[in-house]
Chain A
Amino acid sequence: MYLVYILMAIGLFFAFAGTVGVLRMPDAYCRMQSSTNIATLGTLGALLGAFLYAIYLKNTGMAIKILFIAVFIIVTNPVAGHAICKAAYKRGVKAEKLTCDDYGRDFPNE
């Protein structure tokens, strides 16, 4: 039972760190990086906690459904992240102080 609390706390902590990162990062792309922080360990921690809680309640159907929510978040989230990042780049959103930009070098007219 304490494991549930610990997992929930881990989820909360990473959601907090991700939010702070979204507010503080210098440009759109770095903000995206920080927001994956929330989507992965933030939600996964909370969902794993909920999963163990469902097992503790001996509710198998609920436990399996929670597991599938986690699987679907993992499968769908990177697709959206990739699309947003590329759309921002094509739209010409400025990135601050890029160390190197291989994409801009290879596709200069995008």
Chain B
Amino acid sequence: MKPSKFNSILSTFIFCYLFWIIFTWTFTSQELITGAIVSLLVAILTSRFFIHEDANYLFNPARFLNLVLYIFIFLMELWKANVDVAKRALSPSLPVNPGIVKVPTEVKSEYGLSMLANSITLTPGTITMEITEEDNKNYYYIHWIDVSEKDRTKAGEAIKGTLENWVRRIWK
């Protein structure tokens, strides 16, 4: 779905203005007006690079709540993976079993795909190398430090865990 020009400029503008307010953290009218002008300029110039899909549906409260919940779920996963890799690095025998696996995913939206890819890269032990599209299905190539499953779908479950379902709840 292609968003209208006005819509994409508006969402970029809101995003920029929010960051301006947070960074300056002063609420005099002078600062606010300057911020609005600068954000509008930036939004007009960059919205076509920044917005490829309709971003307004994040304002749906259920989706936004899911996004906030996702942060906590993700922190849990991050903790588990971190402890695992730290153990591997510190254990004397260095138990690594690396490999690159191809993993299918159900996520369709561009934002959802990049969000899931970034989450996978951030958890220690897995790095996303490439996303490809074949027959309307997206695949990740993931470098994995401990290949315990060579089968694609099972490896996908082991790597993505519950994260994918949460991402699908936020984006389409």
A79 to B145, CA, bound (A): 19
A85 to B126, CA, bound (A): 11
Docked-complex contact A24 and B118, CB < 8 angstroms: no
**Which 6 residue pairs across A and B have the least CB separation, nearest first?**
A21-B89, A78-B121, A17-B86, A99-B99, A102-B102, A78-B118
- Which secondary structure dominates chain B's binding surface? mixed
Chain A count of residues within 8 A CB distance of the other chain = 46
Docked-complex contact A82 and B86, CB < 8 angstroms: no
Given A32-B127, A79-B118: A102 touches B89 (CB 8 Å cut-off): no
Q: Is B1 positioned at the interface, with any CB of A under 8 Å from its CB?
A: no
Q: Which residues of A contact B22 (CB under 8 A)?
A: 64, 68
Docked-complex contact B150 and A30, CB < 8 angstroms: no
Q: Which residues of A contact B25 (CB under 8 A)?
A: 61, 64
A65 to B21, CA, bound (A): 12
Docked-complex contact B127 and A85, CB < 8 angstroms: yes
12 A/B residue pairs, CB under 8 Å, sorted by A = A17-B89, A20-B90, A21-B89, A30-B145, A33-B124, A33-B127, A34-B85, A39-B122, A85-B143, A96-B98, A98-B100, A100-B150
- Which secondary structure dominates chain A's binding surface? helix
A82 to B98, CA, bound (A): 16
Which range holds the interface residue count of chain B? Answer: 35 or more
Q: Which residues of B contact A25 (CB under 8 A)?
A: 89, 94, 96
Docked-complex contact A18 and B89, CB < 8 angstroms: yes
Docked-complex contact A98 and B78, CB < 8 angstroms: no
In the complex, what's the smallest C-beta–C-beta distance from A38 to chain B, in angstroms?
9
Q: Which residues of B contact A24 (CB under 8 A)?
A: 89, 94
Q: Which residues of A contact B89 (CB under 8 A)?
A: 17-18, 20-21, 24-25, 34, 37
